[in-house]
Amino acid sequence: MTERAAHFTITLAQLNPTVGDVMGNAAKARAARAQARADGADLVILPELYIAGYPPEDLVLKPAFQAACRAAIEELARDTADGGPAMLIGSPWVEDGKLYNACALLDEGRIAAIRFKANLPNYGVFDEKRLFARGPAAGPVTIRGIRVGVPICEDIWLEESEDYENVVECLAETGAEILVVPNGSPYARDKNDLRLSIAVARVTESGLPLIYLNQIGGQDELVFDGASFALNADLSVAAQLPAFEENITTLRWIKTDTGWRCSGPVSPVVDGDRGDYAACVLGLRDYVGKNGFPGVLLGISGGIDSALCAAIAVDALGAERVRGVMLPFRFTAQVSLDDAAKLASKLGIRYEVLPIAQAVNGFEEILSGIFAGLPRDITEENLQARTRGTLLMAISNKTGAMVVTTGNKSEMSVGYATLYGDMNGGFNPIKDIYKTEVFRLSSLRNSWKPDGALGPSGEVIPVNIITRPPTAELRENQTDQDSLPPYGVLDAILERLVEREEPLASIVAAGFDREVVARIDRLLNVAEYKRRQAAPGVKVTQKNFGRDRRYPITNRFRDMGEGLPKPDDKLVARASRGSAEAFDG
């Protein structure tokens, strides 16, 4: 073995691409390669579909976009004629009339190899079977004399099944020495443990070291947290990159009697509530930045939801790009006014108080003829929220600042938010955060902030906002909990209904009151139309109200809370089963 072959230096470019910004993404790839060259690297690797940005959704079906990606890859390939490191970069790729999710090896001025993703995810937020053709399981690519296996994201995720192409097994059997896995894996709570367990399984079955390179950044509702890592063949951690920030790290692998090994930097893992908070910050930052907004504004109510959103906004953008507006009505308590002012002062944001009584009274006067003889009800009460929404949108139109909406997952689940009022705007950083976690994150932020956060350290949310009972003006001076169960109970029921999709009978059997469960289920169902019209927001759970939970608005099915009937297999003829199996195949 030559001296060169005894060492293999790989640069991991954990970067933040922008979907559709092909030239901008290519420029960042060039900068990463320049750093890799300075580090003496043999190879620089970039995430899945990097040149397009991930996920490109139906944009990837446009021939003009496909051609732009191909041209950028070709130009990057020409760059490698300079004798510097090779590059593995993700890109859409058209071949023989089929579109693939591909990874291209660029080296010595040419496209030296192409590998296609074989296992296409089609669950949750993923929709790749509709977009891409399935690639074959292929052998490793050769880089500087080293055989490198390139399974792409899902190619390592699935367990053995009829639909699963065992790409890792194929690579091991065809002589791969190390596995490099480009990923576009979105953040979700506890995802780090899941990724690690999948990687450990693949290393165990192949006996090969593995590099798991993930992108970072916000893309609409999705947040990619990076947190890339590498494992040696003995399952020891070779390197752990930081989460929620761009990072370029060069790893020096050494050939030993037992294979390739590396000992690189190990950053702490950010997960749990800290991971959720960091995801909310990054998601808002990139939504604002990538869509070109100069800043944001939000209604500051003196309550905990708007307080947490304001802190997230300042951490994401800096105080100078955040504007808070208090819009009090006659039911607004003095304590809310005081707490809102304290919050704005602690965060250092621009803050105004705009009383809305004149506007609300004006609306009521305009409607007085139509409403004559009808009793006052929620209609008049909701005029408060709609007036606030109108005023915030007017400020947004005039200044260009994006409106941040502040509804939490608990209240949006059951419809305790007003359309064209407090649900509408540009983006909602806590859309996937239950109310109980809103309290936890607010307390957390007063003692910790993520790396790179632009807000002040220390207590930024007045303790009184966290500790006093929540109030809401949706029902004038009532609290939400006057008509809903306590948030701890509400969230526990919602988590079972939304994330687990449990039957009502099993929720009741777990100890929850039958009438309360049935009522929450009914509210969840009838609020579907509201959620469809709400602003997009950061996804932090496995199943949020967005890409990966699709329920019809027009829907008459209701779970009656009874035990589920058992299927009678005796009624199904064998011939029917055989026909079904043949059809499925």
Which of 47-51, 157-161, 545-549: highest mean pLDDT? 47-51
Q: Is the pLDDT of residue 582 over 60?
A: no
- DSSP strand pairing (402-403 vs 237-240): unpaired
What length does the chain have?
A: 585
Cis peptide leading into residue 268 (ω within 30°)? no
Nearest-angstrom CA–CA distance, 101 and 283: 25
Nearest to 283 by CA among 346, 223, 338: 223
Res. 535 pLDDT band, cuts 50 70 90: confident
What count of Cα atoms within 13 Å lies in the side-chain half-sphere of residue 246? 13
Mean pLDDT check: name the lowest of 262-276, 400-414, 469-483, 502-516: 469-483
Nearest to 186 by CA among 47, 302, 313: 47
Helices within 125-206 (DSSP H only): 128-131, 167-173, 191-206
- Which pTM value belongs to this model? 0.91
Nearest to 147 by CA among 139, 155, 135, 138: 139
Res. 5 pLDDT band, cuts 50 70 90: low
Mean pLDDT check: name the lowest of 204-213, 224-233, 552-561: 552-561
Convert the pLDDT of each residue in 50-68 to its tens digit.
Answer: 999 999 998 999 999 999 9
Is residue 192 within 8 Å of residue 227, measured between CB atoms?
A: yes
Nearest-angstrom CA–CA distance, 161 and 159: 6
Average pLDDT, the chain: 89
- Give the percent of the chain with pLDDT over 70: 92
Res. 585 pLDDT band, cuts 50 70 90: very low
Query: Per DSSP, what are the bridge partners of residue 143?
Result: 146
Mean pLDDT check: name the lowest of 1-15, 199-213, 469-483: 469-483
Position 573, amino acid:
A
* Tokens matching residue 573: 């003829």
Nearest to 156 by CA among 193, 182, 187: 182
What's the whole-number mean pLDDT along residues 500-513? Answer: 92
Q: Is the pLDDT of residue 81 over 70?
A: yes
Mean pLDDT check: name the lowest of 9-23, 53-67, 480-494: 480-494
pLDDT score for 578: 54
Helices within 156-296 (DSSP H only): 167-173, 191-206, 272-290
Q: 435-445 and 487-494 helices cross at what angle (nearest 10)?
A: 110
Is residue 354 within 8 Å of residue 329, measured between CB atoms?
A: no
Nearest-angstrom CA–CA distance, 418 and 427: 15
DSSP annotation of 135 reads P
Is residue 201 within 8 Å of residue 208, measured between CB atoms?
A: no
Which of 152-161, 183-192, 404-413, 437-446: highest mean pLDDT? 437-446
Nearest-angstrom CA–CA distance, 201 and 235: 10
DSSP annotation of 533 reads T
Domains and CATH numbers, the chain: 7-266 (3.60.110.10), 274-532 (3.40.50.620)
pLDDT score for 550: 72
**Distance (Å) of CA 132 to CA 93, 115, 184:** 9, 14, 15
Contacts of 310 (CB under 8 A, 6+ apart): 298, 300, 322, 324, 343, 344, 347, 349
Convert the pLDDT of each residue in 310-340 to its tens digit.
Answer: 999 999 999 999 999 999 988 788 999 999 9
Is residue 446 within 8 Å of residue 458, measured between CB atoms?
A: yes
Nearest to 389 by CA among 290, 301, 304: 301
Q: Which of the residues are catalytic?
A: 48, 117, 153
What count of Cα atoms within 13 Å lies in the side-chain half-sphere of residue 546? 22
Convert the pLDDT of each residue in 163-190 to its tens digit.
Answer: 778 889 899 999 999 999 999 999 999 8
Mean pLDDT check: name the lowest of 226-235, 489-498, 563-572: 563-572
pLDDT score for 534: 80
Q: Is the pLDDT of residue 543 over 80?
A: no
Convert the pLDDT of each residue in 364-418 to its tens digit.
Answer: 899 989 999 899 888 888 888 888 888 999 999 999 999 999 989 998 888 887 6
DSSP string for 293-318: -S-EEEE--SSHHHHHHHHHHHHHH-
Nearest-angstrom CA–CA distance, 92 and 71: 11
Is residue 230 within 8 Å of residue 11, measured between CB atoms?
A: no
Q: Is the pLDDT of residue 477 over 70?
A: no
* Tokens matching residue 385: 């929220």
Contacts of 124 (CB under 8 A, 6+ apart): 542, 543, 547, 548
Sheet holding 146-149, edge to edge: 141-143, 146-149, 178-183, 210-214, 229-231, 237-240
What's the whole-number mean pLDDT along residues 294-299? Answer: 95
Is residue 523 within 8 Å of residue 411, measured between CB atoms?
A: no
Is residue 286 within 8 Å of residue 312, measured between CB atoms?
A: no
Q: Is the pLDDT of residue 566 over 50?
A: yes
pLDDT score for 575: 59
pLDDT score for 579: 52
Q: Is the pLDDT of residue 481 over 50?
A: no
Convert the pLDDT of each residue in 545-556 to its tens digit.
Answer: 766 677 777 777
Nearest to 537 by CA among 390, 417, 416, 412: 412
* Tokens matching residue 99: 């579109």
What's the whole-number mean pLDDT along residues 21-38? Answer: 96
What count of Cα atoms within 13 Å lies in the side-chain half-sphere of residue 372? 5
pLDDT score for 1: 41
Helices within 446-500 (DSSP H only): 463-467, 487-494
* DSSP-based three-state secondary structure for 575: helix
Q: Is the pLDDT of residue 571 over 90?
A: no
Which has more confidence, 480 or 545? 545
Nearest to 420 by CA among 396, 445, 391: 391
Nearest-angstrom CA–CA distance, 181 and 198: 12
Is residue 53 within 8 Å of residue 21, measured between CB atoms?
A: yes
* DSSP-based three-state secondary structure for 207: coil
pLDDT score for 473: 40
**Distance (Å) of CA 436 to CA 213, 300, 301, 305, 543:** 33, 20, 18, 11, 17
pLDDT score for 572: 85
Position 359, amino acid:
A
Mean pLDDT check: name the lowest of 83-92, 245-254, 422-431: 422-431
Q: Is the pLDDT of residue 276 over 90?
A: yes
Position 311, amino acid:
A
DSSP annotation of 57 reads G
* DSSP-based three-state secondary structure for 118: coil
Nearest-angstrom CA–CA distance, 341 and 354: 13
